[in-house]
Amino acid sequence: METPNLDPPPRDGIPPNGRAGTERAEQPAAARQLVDRLDTTEATIGVVGLGYVGLPLAAEYATQGFETRGVDLDEDRVDRLNAGDNYIEDLDDDAIEGLVETGRLRATAHYDGGDEVDVWFLCVPTPVTATNEPDPSYIEAATRAIAPHLRPGQLVVLKSTTYPGTTEEVVAPILEEEGPDDLTLGEDVFLAFSPERIDPGNDEYTTANTPVVAGGMTETGTEMTRWALGQIIADVHTVSGPKAAEMEKLLENIFRSVNIALANELAQFCERVDGLSMWEVVDAAATKPFGFMPFYPGPGVGGHCIPIDPHYLSKVAKTHDFETSFITLSAQVNEEMPRHVVDAVIETIAREPVRLQDAAVLVLGVAFKGNVSDTRRSPADEIIRLLRAKGVGQIRYHDPHVEAYRVPEGEDGTTGAVPSVDLTPEVLRRHEATVIVADHDAVDPRLVAEHAPAIVDTRNALEGIDDPALRERITLLGAG
């Protein structure tokens, strides 16, 4: 394979010498040192967590000519990346291979040599516990790992979605207590929060052209973050501090959660009114050129943010004697949608001449949304679990983006494999019910409509099927 030209391209929209702002004479010596190294691309970038957020960020810095080190405790992922094997669908395989071959991008499972890193980005998971309590343990572990490697002229940027106060109340104390005694946070080492803005499967908005927000613990920390991010992103919006940046990220995702919940609740109402479709109603409302943004119903919300963020906000709200009733209710509506879908599937099977324990259900799409392979907190998890609990005899799945799929089986974290099948007319006919959970473009809607005996469509994926005989087989979520 011919290695692509990876000389750093001109930074369109990014002024030379970084993101000009604070006069260098006014900056601490450590800040001036960092700015000089960023401006000359001599700075080394460290990215902790090489998933959907971390690897695109690391690749962007490497593309711009920076030596970039990725740290991930998953040794299989590290080995794959160091072999030039790209595992993120949104990134170009040849580009990743080329960056690895030039040495600009490399991965490791340890923090040795961390004192050579100038800018640390923490892109680790922020899950919730079984009781929906925020779990900052990954942030704490990553912070403790880099703390011994701190030196003057370094910047630490937390990018993991979290509750307001995490940067100042969790990360800062660890850096101060476990870092070298002679370093002062804000003068020698700088700390900030800049939330990730990654939309898996979005070809238009990438790491490079999506504006970002940044807030440092000090004005200089904010400026250093703007300067560092400005090496790869033209539009960096700064806020007063980490809390504002952390809250901004929660607002982005809770905004979507609340509006999806509204669409889901209205969809359930429309199902009770003969001839009324929520999909038609939303499309009609979307013709209004102001004051409205379309959100559509679905089988539930998934991914790494929207199902979790309301719980992160609820935690910090309770510490301030405040109840996020509206937001919590919206999250509950979305969390109940898989149960609503399962009820529709069971009702569909009841119309077939088969007992529930002898019925077979095909789940089409186990990713959390269409055209991606990301299965984190996918609605398919709960749908399959509930179908099993109802006694459905056989459950299989087809997903062109997901080769193997496991779902939680118990409270102890154990998982069980779900059989994968090819999508053929024979396979469709062998299943009493097919439920469309993710609307992948690679799935032929007419193939499904013509051969599946009964279909529960949670995404309006079969919208283009207008044959009345075929429409009779389709139960559309949100349509009466």
Predicted confidence (pLDDT) per residue in 414-427, tens digit: 788 999 999 999 99
Catalytic residue flag (residue 305)? yes
Which superfamily does CATH assign the domain made up of 252-476 to? NAD(P)-binding Rossmann-like Domain (3.40.50.720)
Ranges for all domains in the chain classified under CATH 3.40.50.720 = 24-240, 252-476
Beta bridge partners of 154: 189
Q: Kindly report, residue by residue over 17-57, the tens digit of the pLDDT.
A: 344 444 555 788 999 999 999 999 999 999 999 999 999 99
**β partners of residue 277:** 479
Q: Is the pLDDT of residue 237 over 90?
A: yes
Are 359 and 394 within 8 A, CB to CB?
A: yes
Range 24-240: architecture per CATH: 3-Layer(aba) Sandwich (3.40)
- Which residues make beta-bridge pairs with 67? 44
- Give the whole-angstrom CA distance, residue 129 versus residue 158: 21
Return the percentage of the chain with pLDDT > 70, whole number: 94
Give per-residue pLDDT as tens, 47-87: 999 999 999 999 999 999 999 999 999 999 999 999 999 99
pTM for the full predicted model: 0.90
Question: From the candidates 31, 305, 331, 455, which is the catalytic residue?
Answer: 305
**Which burial class, exposed, middle or buried, applies to 100 when counting CB atoms under 10 A from its CB (0-12, 13-18, 19+)?**
buried
Among candidates 66, 92, 94, 96, which has minimal Cα distance to 81?
A: 96
Strand pairing class (406-408; 433-436): unpaired
